[in-house]
């Protein structure tokens, strides 16, 4: 109580009771605590469950603990607890039952002692134990007035408490009914999916095997033909889909799965992939990587974060579980999470933070503080939780915090509440005013309830959803646990991080200097009274404080918050109505609420090849005001003519989606058809996805999309417009992934895994031409096994040119690249054998490496180091897994943009050259026998088997040209883990023996040898090709100051003409001199003299 008094705020009876209850429960003797510990340790439970049971007991009153310990002496009773699925919860139920029985005894004694009848006793028993106890404790038998008057006052108070309890039960029942009807509506939609699948079963298998794309005569797969679409990957191939760069994720699975050990030879070339969770295959497909690299050179623009927390009485509920299992109040959990949010969201030293609490009033505890100071201030706060929830007060707090920002930074608001507002009409008006004045403001809403999932006890936080929608942010729901709350804030933080504007360091410095100058001028012009007022830690914001509500800019530094030029006319007249279905779907005859006009409904269907349309005409009824908005469209209530007399029935409720741009001018049929075509594509693949998962996984995956129709005005002089219409469904909206790579991996992990697999499925089954993303809608669980289901809407399709673009959200190759950059194949992808992007496209760059196991084993290490650097980042890289008996050279394949791919290739080549130097002996073939390619192969095989050394002819295409040198490799030392030790010894015994044997064989066959250089039996075209393959760079002859001659290449490589490593020869056929490097086998022709 002293701590509460020290805050200077109001102290209410519930606050004192909560604090004293904690004190009572903490006053447990050491002897009793030891007895609890001993009894819990005697139970046959695991350590984690024992800790939870002990935590539950130590949080109760002494008499309740004594009761449990007395009952626990009975071994049968104790063993019965251990058999339960959740012993702590079961034990808490026993304590509550005991508490109720005790309370009934207290109530009976109270009524008998003070002359209350049976009716009063029954009413007291209807209240919660805590509430009835407090009422009885408040009874003062010696108070003012007569006994009858005191009893009358007590009964009035009792009746008020009982009415509050009844209202609470009714609200909970109503929410449960709404949720039940929502689940029922979802079930009806899923039944429609099943019925449509039965209608479309004929010839489906034939269509699935012969699917093609409109306007395309190409065959798909690596070798053409549809038979390659489902090719089985190598059973021994290793796919590393978790290997991403440092900014993108973890490398755990890749590191643990790359044993650099000799695996022996195989009959065919096998590959494994090291991909940034996939990746695109061409230059445009990796545009995201280029963008990410440029982003690393920039810093996020300074941002003003405003945390707005509901402190109504319900935030005192002690139902939030901490990480250790202890119960804490919702307000305590929120304050801790806000502290973590500040430390985790700070990305710029110039970020500032403000903190607002609201109930029936608004308190700005601190404003425009840096992250360190904000955390310190937050640790000192002890805001009171009481009164009702008024969202309008929270909005006033946002306005006050923005006004305090003299720098005019873009503001991001995180608005948290655990209930619905008691002032919906006032709140929506205040929200309109705020968003008109603050055009760049973004509001992210968090709904804090019992569970993060759909349930029958809680509503859908529809007002918070609307707040986030109108505030151009997004809504996140979380459950009553610290972990769930932190997950919601993490999702908000990641979204803000992706959407924050970036600026260069120089711009930041200029911005900082400008702000410093403006702050100095502002401080110089302020009076001492203003300075003292600003220094206060807390400011309470009442309605009387809004002196300049109509102003928008000027001295408060909010000029930068105005809407961009041209957008004010678009949004200023848009007013939203309350999102409650009860207030939307009624009174269709009222012209002040609805408008109606004749409209042609066009339905789209996709069969895997082409789109088809069907059309009918009816009258539609639309609300005049929207109740939600998305990124590009406004959402209105809607009913068809057949439902105008009963709009409140679920089967008649619909919603219309109209583009923002259409507020100025209706953009016609084509502007809206992209949304319907995207839905048609998604519905087609969703049907196939349900069938294949049921056939392969032996379980039905319920994922589908609402029908989306395009409505076009056909009536004359009715002022109609184009829009998209679909069914109105209840539940809170969940975004599972986006068209820019976002994945919801927190509360809806299982749903997101299915959604990601579906997106991957659409890409594979369309042969890499279509990718369905931006999966969002209503998610729930049904059935005895709580099987997840998804009723989705508004998908986005990324296409690659075979079809017309699917609207402005179609990002093409870039969107595909962003998806695979984040995607990690799970059990469903693996069961369906879905291919990645790099399995369906040729590589952009290729580097040949010798088929030597040590070289193959060292490749992942070198490549990981190269891919860590932004300038050599690749979307995907495929490496050989082990050597093949039928090949002496293998390929490293890159998928990247031109410059990055070439840099990565050259960097890997440079690293390998250094590795070769310590592992290789080079025999330059200055004199060569006149052997055919087959004879050379036979000779090399003989030398390899005789010496045990690994011998490779150079260059890689020597069969088409001629061997210029032989590379003889020696094995490298291994570490204890079987990995290559780059600093260890190299055993050249076999290589030296092989070198001597090869020289002897060549000398024995030199009677028919010819002068070194390109073989005389090759054409000039072959010679040119050999020179180009061996050394593609041009050399120029230079002289130093003393006249010494040297040769210089464009990359600054050079050598003296007197260098013994380089030797000069003459080609009789081409009448040209050429140079040979004895060390690495490179050679080049001298340029022709002009």
Q: What is the pLDDT of residues 25-53, one digit of tens each?
A: 556 777 888 888 899 888 888 887 887 78
pLDDT at 196: 61
Q: What is the pLDDT of residues 185-211, one digit of tens each?
A: 676 676 666 666 555 554 444 444 444
Q: What is the pLDDT of residues 255-304, one digit of tens each?
A: 333 333 333 344 344 444 444 333 333 333 333 333 444 444 456 788 99
Residue 306 pLDDT greater than 90, yes or no: yes
Whole-Å CA distances, 462 to 441, 588, 729, 731, 775:
20, 22, 12, 9, 20
Nearest 5 degrees, angle CA 1023-CA 1027-CA 1033?
155
How far apart are the C-alpha atoms of 726 and 704, rounded to whole Å?
Answer: 14
The rounded Cα 131 to chain-centroid distance in angstroms is 44
Residue 679 phi/psi, 5° resolution? Answer: -65, -40
Question: Phi-psi bin for 369: left (phi > 0), alpha (psi -120 to 50), beta?
Answer: beta
pLDDT at 703: 92
pLDDT at 14: 59
pLDDT mean over 697-709: 89
How far apart are the C-alpha atoms of 133 and 107, rounded to whole Å?
Answer: 8
pLDDT at 1089: 65
Question: pLDDT: is 44 or 12 the higher one?
Answer: 44
pLDDT at 415: 95
How far apart are the C-alpha atoms of 677 and 797, rounded to whole Å?
Answer: 9
pLDDT at 523: 39
Question: pLDDT: is 416 or 51 the higher one?
Answer: 416
Kindly state the helix (H) or strand (E) to which residue 342 belongs, with its residue range.
Answer: helix 330-345
pLDDT at 1000: 84
pLDDT at 558: 32
What is the per-residue DSSP string for 490-506?
HHHHHHHHHHS-EE-HH
Q: Which stretch of 495-499, 716-720, 954-958 has the lowest confidence by average pLDDT?
A: 495-499
pLDDT confidence bin for 19, thresholds 50/70/90: low
pLDDT at 603: 93
Residue 681 pLDDT greater than 90, yes or no: yes
First to last CA, the chain: 99
**pTM listed for this prediction:** 0.57
How far apart are the C-alpha atoms of 676 and 241, rounded to whole Å?
Answer: 33
Q: What is the pLDDT of residues 82-135, one digit of tens each?
A: 888 778 878 888 888 888 788 888 888 888 888 888 888 888 888 877 778 778
pLDDT at 343: 80
Q: Which stretch of 185-199, 621-635, 861-875 has the lowest confidence by average pLDDT?
A: 185-199
pLDDT at 277: 36
pLDDT at 597: 93
Tokens 């021994």: give the residue: 236
pLDDT at 506: 45
Three-state secondary structure call for residue 818: helix
How far apart are the C-alpha atoms of 496 and 1039, rounded to whole Å?
Answer: 60
How far apart are the C-alpha atoms of 285 and 279, rounded to whole Å?
Answer: 8
pLDDT confidence bin for 595, thresholds 50/70/90: very high
How far apart are the C-alpha atoms of 1060 and 1045, rounded to whole Å?
Answer: 14
How far apart are the C-alpha atoms of 559 and 406, rounded to whole Å?
Answer: 10
How far apart are the C-alpha atoms of 879 and 849, rounded to whole Å?
Answer: 10
How far apart are the C-alpha atoms of 1087 and 1073, rounded to whole Å?
Answer: 9
pLDDT at 709: 94
pLDDT confidence bin for 357, thresholds 50/70/90: very high
1056-1085 in b/e burial notation, b at 16+ Cβ within 10 A?
A: eeeeeebeeeebeebebebbbbbebbbbbb
Q: Which stretch of 268-272, 313-317, 570-574, 816-820 has the lowest confidence by average pLDDT?
A: 268-272
Q: What is the pLDDT of residues 1014-1069, one digit of tens each?
A: 433 333 333 333 333 344 347 888 887 778 888 887 666 788 888 888 888 888 77
pLDDT mean over 576-596: 90
Q: Is the peptide bond before 25 cis (omega within 30 degrees of 0)?
A: no
On whether the CB atoms of residues 392 and 310 are closer than 8 A, the answer is no
How far apart are the C-alpha atoms of 298 and 508, rounded to whole Å?
Answer: 10
On whether the CB atoms of residues 711 and 639 are closer than 8 A, the answer is no
How far apart are the C-alpha atoms of 344 and 659, rounded to whole Å?
Answer: 36
How far apart are the C-alpha atoms of 38 and 145, rounded to whole Å?
Answer: 53
* Mean pLDDT estimate for the chain: 75
pLDDT at 239: 35
pLDDT mean over 860-881: 81
pLDDT at 273: 44
Task: Pinpoint the alpha helices (H) of 43-146.
Answer: 47-58, 62-72, 75-82, 87-114, 118-126, 129-138
How far apart are the C-alpha atoms of 291 and 16, rounded to whole Å?
Answer: 56
Residue 559 pLDDT greater than 70, yes or no: no
Whole-Å CA distances, 131 to 51, 419, 573, 650:
30, 21, 48, 39
Question: pLDDT: is 370 or 535 the higher one?
Answer: 370
Three-state secondary structure call for residue 1028: helix
Q: Which stretch of 74-78, 490-494, 802-806 has the lowest confidence by average pLDDT?
A: 490-494
Whole-Å CA distances, 928 to 224, 463, 956, 1076:
42, 85, 17, 14
Kindly state the helix (H) or strand (E) to which residue 877 belongs, with its residue range.
Answer: strand 876-882
Q: Which stretch of 13-17, 60-64, 475-479 has the lowest confidence by average pLDDT?
A: 13-17
Q: Closest Cα partner for 822 from 247, 73, 35?
A: 247
pLDDT at 784: 64
Q: What is the pLDDT of residues 220-236, one digit of tens each?
A: 333 333 333 333 333 33
pLDDT confidence bin for 17, thresholds 50/70/90: low
Whole-Å CA distances, 837 to 271, 549, 698, 738:
16, 55, 27, 18
pLDDT mean over 726-741: 79
Question: pLDDT: is 258 or 845 the higher one?
Answer: 845
Residue 621 pLDDT greater than 90, yes or no: yes
How far apart are the C-alpha atoms of 937 and 931, rounded to whole Å?
Answer: 10
pLDDT at 1019: 34
Three-state secondary structure call for residue 780: strand
Question: pLDDT: is 596 or 240 the higher one?
Answer: 596
pLDDT at 500: 62
**What are the helix and strand counts (H, E) for the chain?**
32, 38
Residue 598 pLDDT greater than 60, yes or no: yes
pLDDT mean over 659-679: 85
What sign does the dihedral 511-512-516-522 (CA atoms) show? Answer: positive
């Amino acid at each position: 109580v002293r701590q509460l008094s020290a805050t200077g705020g109001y102290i209410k009876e519930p606050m004192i009771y909560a604090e004293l209850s904690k004190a009572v429960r903490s006053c447990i003797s050491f002897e009793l605590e030891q007895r609890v510990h001993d009894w819990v340790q005697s139970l046959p439970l695991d350590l984690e469950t024992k800790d939870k049971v002990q935590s539950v007991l130590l949080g109760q009153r002494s008499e309740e603990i004594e009761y449990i310990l007395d009952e626990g002496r009975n071994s049968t009773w104790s063993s019965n607890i251990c058999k339960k699925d959740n012993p702590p919860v079961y034990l808490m139920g026993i304590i509550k039952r005991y508490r109720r029985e005790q309370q009934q005894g207290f109530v009976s004694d109270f009524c008998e002692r003070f002359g209350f009848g049976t009716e009063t006793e029954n009413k007291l028993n209807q209240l919660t134990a805590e509430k009835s106890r407090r009422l009885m404790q408040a009874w003062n038998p010696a108070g003012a007035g007569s006994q009858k008057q005191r009893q009358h006052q007590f009964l009035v108070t009792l009746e008020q408490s009982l009415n509050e309890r009844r209202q609470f039960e009714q609200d909970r029942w109503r929410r449960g009914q709404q949720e039940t009807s929502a689940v029922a509506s979802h079930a009806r939609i899923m039944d429609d999916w099943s019925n449509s699948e039965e209608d479309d079963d004929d010839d489906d298998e034939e269509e699935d095997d012969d699917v093609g794309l409109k306007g395309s005569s190409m065959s798909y797969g690596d070798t053409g033909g549809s038979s390659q679409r489902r090719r089985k990957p190598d059973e021994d191939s290793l796919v590393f889909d978790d290997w991403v760069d440092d900014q993108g994720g973890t490398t755990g699975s890749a590191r643990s799965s790359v044993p650099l050990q000799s695996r022996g030879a195989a009959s065919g070339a096998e590959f494994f992939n090291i991909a940034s969770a996939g990746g695109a295959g061409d230059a445009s497909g990796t545009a995201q990587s280029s963008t990410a690299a440029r982003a690393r050179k920039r810093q996020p623009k300074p941002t003003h974060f405003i945390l707005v927390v509901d402190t109504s009485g319900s935030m005192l509920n002690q139902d939030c579980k901490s990480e250790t299992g202890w119960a804490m109040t919702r307000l305590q959990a929120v304050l801790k999470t806000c502290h973590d949010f500040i430390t985790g969201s700070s990305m710029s030293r110039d970020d500032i933070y403000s903190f607002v609490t609201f109930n029936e009033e608004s308190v700005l505890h601190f404003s425009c503080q840096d992250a360190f100071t904000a955390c310190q201030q937050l640790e000192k706060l002890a805001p009171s939780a009481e009164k009702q929830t008024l969202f309008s007060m929270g909005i006033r707090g946002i306005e006050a915090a923005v006004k305090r920002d003299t720098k005019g930074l873009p503001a991001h608001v995180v608005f948290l509440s655990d209930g619905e507002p008691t002032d919906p009409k006032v709140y929506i008006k205040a929200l309109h005013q705020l968003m008109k004045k603050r055009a760049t403001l973004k509001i992210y809403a968090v709904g804090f309830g019992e569970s993060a999932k759909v349930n029958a006890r809680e509503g859908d936080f529809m007002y918070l959803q609307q707040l986030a929608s109108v505030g151009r942010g997004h809504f996140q729901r979380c459950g009553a646990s610290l972990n769930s709350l932190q997950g919601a804030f993490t999702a908000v933080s990641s979204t803000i991080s992706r959407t924050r504007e970036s600026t260069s360091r120089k711009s930041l410095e200029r911005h900082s200097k400008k702000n410093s100058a403006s702050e100095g001028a502002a401080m110089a012009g302020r009076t001492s009274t203003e300075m003292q007022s600003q220094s206060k830690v807390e400011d309470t914001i009442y309605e009387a404080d809004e002196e300049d509500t109509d102003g928008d800019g000027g001295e408060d530094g909010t000029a930068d918050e105005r809407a961009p030029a041209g957008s004010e006319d678009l949004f200023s007249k848009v007013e939203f109505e309350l999102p409650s279905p009860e207030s939307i779907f009624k009174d269709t005859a009222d012209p002040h609420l609805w408008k109606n006009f004749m409209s042609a409904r066009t339905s789209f269907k996709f069969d895997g090849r082409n789109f088809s349309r069907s059309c009918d005409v009816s009258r539609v009824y639309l609300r005049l005001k929207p109740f939600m908005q998305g990124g590009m469209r406004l959402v209105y209530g809607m009913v068809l003519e057949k439902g105008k007399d009963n709009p409140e029935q679920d089967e008649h409720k619909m919603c219309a989606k109209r583009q923002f741009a259409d507020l100025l001018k209706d953009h016609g049929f084509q502007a809206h058809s992209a949304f319907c075509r995207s839905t048609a594509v998604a519905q087609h693949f969703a049907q196939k996805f349900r069938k294949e998962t049921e056939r392969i996984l032996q379980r039905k995956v319920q994922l589908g999309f609402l029908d989306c129709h395009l409505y076009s005005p056909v009536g004359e002089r009715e002022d109609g417009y184009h829009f998209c219409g679909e069914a109105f469904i209840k539940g809170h909206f969940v975004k599972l992934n986006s068209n820019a790579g976002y994945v919801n991996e927190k509360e809806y992990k299982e749903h997101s895994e299915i959604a990601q697999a579906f997106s991957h499925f659409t890409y594979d089954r369309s042969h890499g031409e279509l990718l369905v993303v931006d999966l969002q809608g209503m998610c729930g669980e049904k059935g005895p096994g709580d099987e997840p289901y998804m009723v989705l809407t508004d998908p986005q399709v990324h296409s690659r040119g075979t079809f017309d673009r699917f609207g402005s959200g179609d990002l093409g190759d870039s969107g595909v690249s962003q998806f695979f950059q984040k995607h990690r194949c799970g059990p469903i992808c693996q069961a369906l054998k879905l291919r990645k992007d790099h399995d369906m496209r040729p590589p952009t760059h290729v580097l040949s490496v010798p088929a030597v196991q040590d070289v193959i084993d060292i490749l992942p290490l070198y490549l990981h180091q190269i891919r860590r650097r932004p300038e050599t980042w690749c979307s995907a890289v495929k490496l050989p897994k082990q050597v093949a008996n039928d090949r002496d050279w293998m390929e490293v394949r890159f998928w990247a943009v031109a410059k990055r791919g070439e840099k990565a290739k050259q960097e890997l080549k440079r690293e390998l050259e250094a590795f070769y130097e310590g592992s290789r002996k080079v025999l330059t073939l200055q004199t060569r026998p006149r052997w055919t390619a087959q004879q050379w192969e036979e000779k090399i095989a003989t030398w390899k088997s005789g010496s045990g050394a690994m011998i490779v002819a150079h260059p890689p295409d020597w069969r088409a040209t001629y061997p210029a040198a032989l590379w003889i490799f020696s094995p490298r030392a291994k570490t204890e883990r079987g990995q290559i030790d780059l600093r260890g010894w190299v055993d050249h015994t076999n290589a030296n023996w092989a070198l001597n044997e090869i020289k002897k064989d060549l000398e024995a066959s030199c009677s028919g040898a010819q002068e070194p250089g390109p073989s005389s039996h090759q054409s000039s075209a072959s010679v040119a090709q050999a020179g180009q393959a061996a050394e593609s760079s041009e050399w120029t002859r230079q002289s130093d100051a003393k006249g010494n001659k040297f040769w210089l290449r464009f990359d600054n490589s050079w050598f003296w003409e007197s260098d013994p490593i380089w030797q000069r020869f003459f080609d009789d056929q081409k009448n040209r001199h050429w140079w040979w490097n004895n060390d690495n086998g490179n050679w080049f022709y001298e340029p022709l003299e002009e």
